[in-house]
Amino acid sequence: MRKLFGTDGVRGTANTHPMTAEMALRIGAAAGHYFGRNARGVHRVVIGKDTRLSGYMFENALTAGLTSTGMNVLLMGPVPTPAVGLMTRSMRADLGVMISASHNPADDNGIKFFGPDGFKLSDQVETEIEALIESGVDLAPAGGIGRAKRIDDARFRYGERIKASLPRGIRLDGLKVVLDCANGAAYRAAPEILWELGADVVPVGVSPNGTNINDGCGSTKPRVAAETVVAHKADLGICLDGDADRVILIDETGTVADGDQIMALFASRWAAEDRLAKGTLVATVMSNLGLEHYLQGQGLHLERTKVGDRYVVERMREAGFNLGGEQSGHIVMTDHATTGDGLMAGLHFVAEMIRSGEPASALARRFDRVPQLLKNVRYEAGQEPLATAPVKAAIAEAEAALTGSGRLLIRKSGTEPLIRVMAECTDEALLAQVVDGIVAEVEAARVPA
């Protein structure tokens, strides 16, 4: 069992275990030792970060740990998470590191790793790194300590890769796009890329101050962007999260479209062009039943994984699929990227608007959602409310009630101390009844640790 790594790296409140400078140093040393064991004489690691105040602290601590094992560190500053995957591979680095807590509040932070192939690490590799963190590693001799260097053009390299993924000659002239960067990692790169493609950009969330990332903006809080789309009569709104690996779209009426709707469009379009590998889309257990029904109607297949975009990617790589993602807005196109890329997905949606001549509202509503209700219950360390008899009984009762008309999913979040209670059902009264019943039992089961 992994103790530090969750569904997307190590994450928590800054200056609280495990997200302390001391632990980051140990994590850096362990990762440096693990990836520095190959036969090559020169070892490199690239580090990117989002705009959180604590990013400076973790950048320095990780650099100290990595250089202590002989790794040469290339510091890219604020860049989207997918840029780290790209740069790790293009710069022939042994390891890539992104310092970010994604969509979480500014007080949180996290550490995500990418292997030399640009893909996120497997559970097995993370487990082995955890063992090295606990046991400690041998440090490099004084003459073998690594160096650190700033790389100033990372976001420009990323921008060229984004543009190269689009159909040849695509231009956004005449399109007005509201772009919400969540005061996060893409606050400079994303507006530059859209401007270079010819769009009239209306920026939102592009003034980070270290404490306002995801604060009332971004993919998890798109209200301001939606209002801006309507006020400016924009053609589309693109809302990224703090590290820009996920996207939520807003059509010209101010209506929000989640990752399921985006994946439905891409899957059907790619299938029509005979480029959807094996006629299959990979998504998680959180994706709406409506998406599954839509794909079946198109003669396509949906494969589900557990929650986490890296599990989606692992399944894609195992079976040779090339499109996948999450309802939350991670869209993974392995023909172009190694991880979810919110900006890339948003631009491919725009490209389809241009190709089809249809407005965003027509493209972003591919299916009718089956009513879905998700509620979160926070718990403290040491508590196990899902293990109590009343909660188990409530879950069993809910599953029986939903048989034939819906489904139930109860899970612990891999990034926050939350229990997520989600259900889908065509009967909305029954939906509320089963979710509220389980939430009440979970809340009652919470006891002091």
Asked if pLDDT for residue 78 goes beyond 60, the answer is: yes
Q: What is the CATH number of domain 5-154?
A: 3.40.120.10
pLDDT for res 269: 97
Query: What average pLDDT does the structure give for the chain?
Result: 94
What pTM did the predictor assign?
0.90
Domain 259-343+353-363, second-level architecture: 3-Layer(aba) Sandwich (3.40)
Q: Tens digits of per-residue pLDDT, 39-57?
A: 466 799 999 999 999 999 9
Select from 94, 23, 115, 88 the least CA-distant residue to 62: 23
pLDDT for res 8: 87
Where in the chain are all domains bearing CATH 3.40.120.10?
Answer: 5-154, 173-255, 259-343+353-363
pLDDT for res 225: 98
Q: Tens digits of per-residue pLDDT, 117-140?
A: 999 999 999 999 999 999 999 999
Catalytically annotated residue among 102, 268, 287, 328: 102
3-state secondary structure of 231: helix
- On whether the CB atoms of residues 9 and 104 are closer than 8 A, the answer is no
173-255 fold: Alpha-D-Glucose-1,6-Bisphosphate; Chain A, domain 3 (3.40.120)
Omega prior to 417 cis, within 30 of 0: no
CATH number assigned to the domain with residue range 372-445, chosen from the 4 options 3.30.750.24, 3.40.50.2020, 3.30.310.50, 3.50.50.100:
3.30.310.50
Select from 28, 74, 71 the least CA-distant residue to 47: 74
Select from 102, 111, 125, 123 the least CA-distant residue to 25: 111
d(CA 34, CA 129): 7
Tell me whether residue 361 is one of the annotated catalytic residues: no
Strands 176-180 and 200-204, how do they pair? parallel
Which regions of 260-361 does DSSP assign to beta strands (E)?
280-284, 301-305, 323-325, 331-333
CA angle 248, 249, 253 (to 5 degrees): 140
Asked if pLDDT for residue 449 goes beyond 60, the answer is: no
Contacts of residue 267, defined as CB under 8 A and 6 or more positions apart, other chains included, come to 276, 281, 295, 298, 300, 323
Instruction: Give the pLDDT band of residue 79 (cuts 50, 70, 90).
Output: very high
